[in-house]
Amino acid sequence: MPHRPPISEALSFLWEELASGPRELAELSARDVWSAFLRFGQQRFDTAATPDSDGLLFQYGTHAFSGPSMFTLDLTRQFELNDAEGEHDHYVQVHCELRYEPQA
């Protein structure tokens, strides 16, 4: 099997994909972020050979968690980490969240 980077480098890979385009991060469109996230999702990391070891999750909605209501799109990559016996220990997630003022 080819060398795969450790999960601890996943956030750096996402940042590299987001910064690889012709625009500054603050100027990225939802399409730019989606494209970068898809490229990030294609990068293989050193994970266990189990079905839930690496997954892409998506959620969206209009929420007011800390201030005015915002439409939020959350793109997440989730990695399962196992203990020394190979059993589930916990998950690590890398998020990319987009927020927009809701349109009436």
- Please state the pTM of the whole predicted model: 0.87
The pLDDT assigned to 1 comes to 53
Q: What is the pLDDT of residue 73?
A: 95
What's the confidence (pLDDT) of residue 52?
A: 87
Longest dimension (CA), the chain: 53
Cα–Cα nearest to 43, from 52, 32, 56: 56
Residue 98 has what pLDDT?
93
Which of the residues in the chain have pLDDT under 50? none
Predicted pLDDT of residue 23: 87
Helix (H, G, I), strand (E, B) or coil at 24: coil
